[in-house]
């Protein structure tokens, strides 16, 4: 059997393109004792992968040039030399951008397909949902009646943040980049106010209208000028969970904006970066609560699914073009 794989061919400068990735074929190896062979069904593509494509110190190791791109996936055990897994088990792990993955048994985790569709374990019940849950509740700490602003609001993380903020009784304002996303946030997720940052004449004016009582929590997924505008409207004791800065991920130069120290002092505001991994010990708590809200119908989710192994690089690049609503995935089989 042949295993199609996608490797990092070269480190991108600016927006990655077809030269960044290379398709290869290798032979599928047989599992040895304690190993399982997995056939990948779904691959997750995530903005943080852009950071791993450059050779810079970060909270995760850079990808190595010439190696298969790593990333979260879901697959089916098709051969097993492990007592813990049987053929047909659906499992998740970091199988990467390839059709088959030979795993040692401690690298993979069984998923319960009776609780929720398999894809949710890469989205709302996986890292995405947990990022929203801990970033908002542990750092943002929204109270009923407060105003929560979310950038990247119709994306995988942002759409969950807004719904959790609503559950907490907050007033939710979402910023996103297309009319389809604006309708989704308003009509399906019942955000109180929405702003299309691509069509607005003046985002500061729109924000003032959408947040007449100022901003108590700003959940930042994007950084850049959108965040500059929101930061200028923070209330005293505001909290700013800094989750992502996708507007800068493809920039070659350091992205300088207004310096925030004076503002944070004047407003006694808290701005805190985080990675979901900080909360690893509390993942079971987060997953339990997200699962319960999902079952109770208090949370919903969307997925944007591209089909076919060849589509993986495009699906990844679509994140930077804003083509996805909710979690971006690729279905292999
Ligand atoms: N801290 C953590 O542990 C952690 C974990 C997961 C994700 N993250 C971060 O959270 C953010 C959201 O991740 P996600 O997985 O949920 O992705 P996502 O929001 O589903 O997809 C990315 C979205 O970003 C928006 N975007 C792209 N380029 C932009 C730009 N130049 N300016 C403004 N918006 C832009 C696009 O939406 P529009 O159409 O609205 O532009 C796009 O759909 C990312 O920054 C990611 O790195 C952090």
Angle at alpha carbon of residue 198, lines to 242 and 276, rounded to 5°: 20
Instruction: Write out residues with Cβ below 6 Å of ligand 1.
Output: 46-48, 128, 131, 152, 154-158, 176-178, 181, 221-222, 224, 226, 243-247, 274-276, 319-320, 322, 324, 328
Rg (CA), the chain: 20
Nearest Cα neighbor of 120 from 190, 47, 42 is: 42
The neighbour count for residue 254, using CB atoms within 10 Å, is 6
Cα gap 263→59, rounded to integer Å? 28
Q: In the 8-state DSSP scheme, what is residue 53?
A: T
Beta bridge partners of 329: 44, 305
Question: How many angstroms does the Cα of residue 249 sit away from the middle of ligand 1?
Answer: 10
What average pLDDT does this structure show over 155-170? 98
Decide: helix, strand or coil at residue 252: coil
In the predicted structure, residue 18 carries a pLDDT above the cut 90: no
pLDDT > 90: percent of the chain:
98
What's the length of the chain? Answer: 333
Average pLDDT, the chain: 97
Domains delineated in the chain = 2-123+302-331 (3.90.180.10), 127-277 (3.40.50.720)
* Ligand 1: residue whose CA is nearest its atom 43: 322
Question: How many angstroms does the Cα of residue 224 sit away from the middle of ligand 1?
Answer: 12
- Residues 6+ away with beta carbon under 8 Å from 256: none
What average pLDDT does this structure show over 58-86? 97
Question: How many angstroms does the Cα of residue 151 sit away from the middle of ligand 1?
Answer: 8
What average pLDDT does this structure show over 164-180? 98
pLDDT in tens, 98-157: 999 999 999 999 999 998 999 999 999 999 999 999 999 999 999 999 999 999 999 999
């Amino acid at each position: 059997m042949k295993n199609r794989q996608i490797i990092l061919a070269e480190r991108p400068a600016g927006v990655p393109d077809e030269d960044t990735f290379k398709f290869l074929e290798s032979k599928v190896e047989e599992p040895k004792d304690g190993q399982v062979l997995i056939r990948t069904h779904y691959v997750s593509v995530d903005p943080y992968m852009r950071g791993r494509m450059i050779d810079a110190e970060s909270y995760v190791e850079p990808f190595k040039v010439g190696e298969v791109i790593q990333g979260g996936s879901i697959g089916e055990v098709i051969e097993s030399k492990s007592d813990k897994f049987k053929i047909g088990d659906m499992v998740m792990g970091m199988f990467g951008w390839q059709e088959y993955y030979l795993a040692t048994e401690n690298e993979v985790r069984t998923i319960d397909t009776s609780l929720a569709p398999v894809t949710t374990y890469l989205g709302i019940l996986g890292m995405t949902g947990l990022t929203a849950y801990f970033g908002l509740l542990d750092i943002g700490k929204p109270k009923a009646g407060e105003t929560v602003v979310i950038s990247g609001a119709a994306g995988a993380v942002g759409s969950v943040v807004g719904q959790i903020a609503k559950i907490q009784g907050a007033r939710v304002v979402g910023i996103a980049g297309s009319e389809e996303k604006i309708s989704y946030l308003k009509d399906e997720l019942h955000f109180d106010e929405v702003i299309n940052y691509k069509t607005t004449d003046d985002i500061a004016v729109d924000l003032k209208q959408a947040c007449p009582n100022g901003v108590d929590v700003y959940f930042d997924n994007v950084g850049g000028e959108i965040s500059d505008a929101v930061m200028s409207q923070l209330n005293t004791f505001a909290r700013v969970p800094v989750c992502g800065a996708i507007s800068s991920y493809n920039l070659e130069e350091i992205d300088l904006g207004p310096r925030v120290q004076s503002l944070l002092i004047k407003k006694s505001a808290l701005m805190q970066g985080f990675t979901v991994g900080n909360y690893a010990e509390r993942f079971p708590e987060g997953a339990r609560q997200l699962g319960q809200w999902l079952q109770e119908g208090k949370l919903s989710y969307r997925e944007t699914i591209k089909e076919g192994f060849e589509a993986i690089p495009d699906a990844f690049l679509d994140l930077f073009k804003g083509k996805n609503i909710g979690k971006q995935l690729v279905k292999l089989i």
